[in-house]
Amino acid sequence: MKKQSKNVIWWCLWFVFALALAAYFSWQLFLKKEKTAFLIGEASHGHFQIEMACETCHTSPFGGKDILQEACENCHAEDLELAHDSHPKKKFTDPRNADSIKILDARYCISCHTEHQMEQTRAMGVTLPDDYCFHCHVDIGEERESHKDLAFDSCASAGCHNFHDNRALYESFLVENANQDWIKTIVALPLVNATSIKNTETKPALTLDEAVAPSAHMNEDILHDWEMSAHAQAGINCEGCHSTSQSQSNKVHQNNKKTNDIWIEKPGIETCKQCHQQEVATFKQGKHGMRLADEVSHPLSAVKPADSPSSASLQFHENALQKHQSCTACHSAHRFDREFAAVDACLGCHDDEHSQAFEASPHGQIWQHAIATNADTGGLVSCASCHMPRGIEKSGGETIVSVNHNQNFNLRPNEKMLRSVCMNCHGLGFAINALADEGLIRNNFSGKPSVDIPSIEWALKRENR
């Protein structure tokens, strides 16, 4: 009898414990915004900003890797297309390559990039051993004289090959750009033009008297900054950003004409998007704004918060840790100074060795001299010119120049910078060596490369054999 009573007590305790546990997790799941209790492991450097946006990747509790693959493609398909992906999914769904799937099932991103396993995550978020190239391309080491003595795990780390994006390292490209001088005649890229800005009309520049804003918001410093800005030159007045009316946002109001619009104290990114669609779109693709992307389902609030340095793994200044990223975080409100945004805004947050070395580097010295003498900075190197390069494209017979605000676009692997940035000023051989020199990168390219990547030499030998 005593034993039965004791068992009943234990069962009751277990029931109460299970009920309490169920109540706790139900509260975590349905009521609490922060859901760290369900995080199975730290996310990689590419996804840590959205590690609590579980539904962005795990759109269904069922479906397995096919559901995850769909989530990967929702965010990264465009990047892979632009990169001319050298290992596209169709290559592995081709029956002729069925044997390759047995070695590496590259039909699925998670075969190489398994999240929440930081203990085995390395560069580029890869969770495979570094010799993954060798298993499919063992014949290269046997057939090519130049590759016979290379380490089996050096394919992706020697400045030669990238799994997805090999545009800057194709043999034909290497041969075409061989024997170039280390520095070229520098030609400044054109500035961003009005063609890249949507919903704009040709309007005369405005004066302070023509700026419309309630008197309570008038401030001489603000108005002076605005008068010197590109907005004033383009005829965009205060209501263009601070008014709730979409139809009135880009119209000129003369003589302080009153409207029924509601004054917006601090316009957000959606206001900027009315005119700067491309800039906002690429901003949301990068580390600064990825939490705001349409694909991201973030649980912390109905209005998704932009990222702040406090959640990042890089080194930042202490006073910048809580500074949320937005258009005005870099461009500042009202002045929208491009030169400030190109360097000072970056160095105001980033405190890593590479960033710290910019001002003392040759690039930084030339930049500072140009600023001090009010010279044109169009052809000079800034943080933005490398990490947010200007792109030029033709559309409808017009040349469109715009800034790619996705600072990840050419950051990893860094060989992607060769075409879009480095070769604007430097020869291919010098640029390849510079980007392979980790010490040179840390001191922000103060000096010449101390490594020699022989890929151009090998390509020329194969071309002339």
Per residue of the chain (465 residues), give pLDDT as tens: 556 676 777 888 888 888 887 777 777 666 666 667 778 888 898 898 888 888 889 888 777 899 999 999 999 998 899 888 999 999 999 999 888 898 999 999 999 999 999 999 988 899 999 888 988 898 888 888 888 888 888 887 656 888 998 888 888 999 999 999 999 876 666 667 666 676 655 455 555 555 554 444 567 888 888 888 888 888 888 888 887 764 444 443 333 444 456 778 888 899 999 999 999 999 999 989 998 888 888 776 556 677 788 878 789 999 999 888 899 999 988 989 999 999 999 999 999 999 999 999 999 999 999 999 999 888 899 999 999 998 888 777 888 888 999 998 888 888 889 988 999 999 999 999 999 999 999 999 999 999 999 999 999 998 886
Q: What length is written for the chain?
A: 465
**pLDDT for position 247:** 40
The two most distant CA atoms of the chain are separated, in Å, by 97
Q: How far apart, in whole angstroms, are the C-alpha atoms of residue 149 and residue 212?
A: 71
- What residues contact residue 111 under an 8 Å CB cut-off, 6+ apart? 104, 105, 128
Token look-up 């590259």 returns 106
**pLDDT for position 25:** 72
**pLDDT for position 254:** 38
Please give the helix or strand (H or E) that residue 392 lies within, else none: strand 390-395
**pLDDT for position 217:** 55
Other Cβ atoms closer than 10 A to 363? 22
Give 75-140 as a DSSP string: HHHHHHHHTT-SS-HHHHHSGGGHHHHHH--TTSGGGT--SS-GGG--GGG--S-TTHHHHH-HHH
Token look-up 């959606």 returns 270
**pLDDT for position 457:** 93
Classify the C-alpha dihedral 56-61-63-64 as positive or negative: positive
DSSP H helical segments within 27-59, as ranges? 54-57
**pLDDT for position 141:** 82
- What residues contact residue 291 under an 8 Å CB cut-off, 6+ apart? 49, 50, 53, 298, 304, 305, 306, 307
- Which of these, 301, 287, 383, 373, lies nearest to 343 by C-alpha position? 383
